[in-house]
Amino acid sequence: MTKYQLIAATGCPTGIAHTYMAQEALEQAAKAKGITIKVETHGQIGIENELTKAEIEAADAVIIAADKDVHSERFTGKRVIEVPVSKGIKEAGQLIDDALAGKGKILGGNQSLDVDSLEEKESEVKGIGHSIYKNLMNGVSHMLPFVVSGGVLIAISFLWGIYSADPESAQFNQFAATLKEIGGLAMGMMVPILSAYIAEGIAKRPGLVVGFVGGLVASNGGTGFLGGIVSGFLAGYIVLGLVKIFKVLPKSLDGLKAIFLYPVLGVAITGLIMYGIAGPMSAINEGMMDFLAGFENSSPLVLGIIVGCMCAFDMGGPVNKAAYVTGTALLAQGNTSFMAGVSAACIAPPLITGFAVLFFRKYFDTNEQNAGLVNFILGSTHITEGAIPFAAKDPLRVLPTMMLGSSIAAVLTYLFKVQVPAPHGGFLVLPVVTHGLLWVLAILAGSIIGGCLLGLIQKRRITKINATI
């Protein structure tokens, strides 16, 4: 068995791009330094390149570059450096240097971590803000496949007509109605799954069932995804409280605690609290959704700029995810216009890099040229993260350029009154997009303008460098 000097685990909320970009960056940085490293990835298809117990024990240090739960309790007793996944991409070399220099912290001391020490583990997380974000993103990453599969199936059912699922309509089609029903069931799982995996991120397996039931109560109470977030955190910390309270019980009762006390009391307490706050939460949720939806008709320019800037600001990070999750929540309520602008703004950044490389090819090196052309494919399928390497090299000038391009795409999308009933897929869902051609034109307009500006920025930078040589 190969003895790895370092081991690492990477994971991002969607598990599509950041996860593997961080893996590649760490592997390349280690190779350049003559260091052996094994990187485990927590992507949308599950855990790949999984670390064995022997590999964990033999490694000198651990790097965790993740915005979701990667089961860090396995590394108890090891020296661990834990950072957001974006740092794993941008600062891979520095992370490896820090790990070899003995920086980081010994996770959980020298004692094994079990369900009865979850509250100590939680207190070790770097800052309350990062802890909240990581647990929230754990919920979002598990929720997204339900939203995407359900949304796409519902969108496909509309190909037989907008009323194809209504038995009273002349457009009625049994297959379309079945597709819509299946898609609706998947979409209906959005809030319970979000809540369940927020709680699971906080309290591990004991929190899962409590969070799931809390999410069901939130969903039935009409509190929307905001209720799911509240119930998830509530469930997780209630379970941690129960763990602490029942710590006085004998070790022989651990099985009883896990199978009976935690789920029964956790579900009862969380469920009753959620029932109590369902009314106010529902009003808040509806008010927020109505406020955002109202911008579509009254101020499409303002809404487009807000959505465009949010989506391009950190491309897959927390600000981008805030816009995306809001779009999926509105989509679940039947609003297909808001998501159209969000999708346009997410598709634009990679296309901007593609057009920049296409129009100003000689000012980019070979790797950038290849990456830009690949980004035409990534952008067309709604994978924003392909633009990150370009932004990382010159964020102060590149990010505003991409925010401008995304804003133009989103503003035009709202002005054209485009409707996108699927939360992901990019141009693959064009057959079910209302005013699909106008949507493509809006995205191309923002992408080409942004691409020209990015190309001019690169030209000026290279010209300046050449002038000083």
Listed residue (100, 103, 106, 63) closest to 85, CA to CA: 63
pLDDT band at 140 (very low <50, low <70, confident <90, very high): confident
pLDDT on residue 318: 64
**Does residue 119 register a pLDDT over 50?**
no
Return d(Cα 460, Cα 464) in angstroms, integer. 6
- What three-state secondary structure class fits 61? strand
Dihedral sign (CA 307, 312, 317, 318)? negative
> What pTM was estimated for this model as a whole?
0.65
- Contact partners, residue 46, CB within 8 Å, separation at least 6: none
Return d(Cα 443, Cα 345) in angstroms, integer. 8
What is the per-residue pLDDT across 365-409, written as a single tens digit (0 to 9) for each? 787 788 888 888 888 877 777 787 787 777 788 889 999 999 999
How does strand 61-66 pair with strand 6-11? parallel
pLDDT band at 197 (very low <50, low <70, confident <90, very high): very high
- Contact partners, residue 149, CB within 8 Å, separation at least 6: 183, 186
pLDDT on residue 289: 66
Geometric angle at alpha carbon 208, from 205 and 214, rounded to 5°: 155
Domains of the chain: 6-113 (3.40.50.2300), 128-282 (no CATH), 299-468 (no CATH)
Active site residues: 12
Task: Using alpha carbons, list the distances in angstroms from residue 222 to 59, 123, 195, 275, 334.
Answer: 49, 33, 14, 11, 14
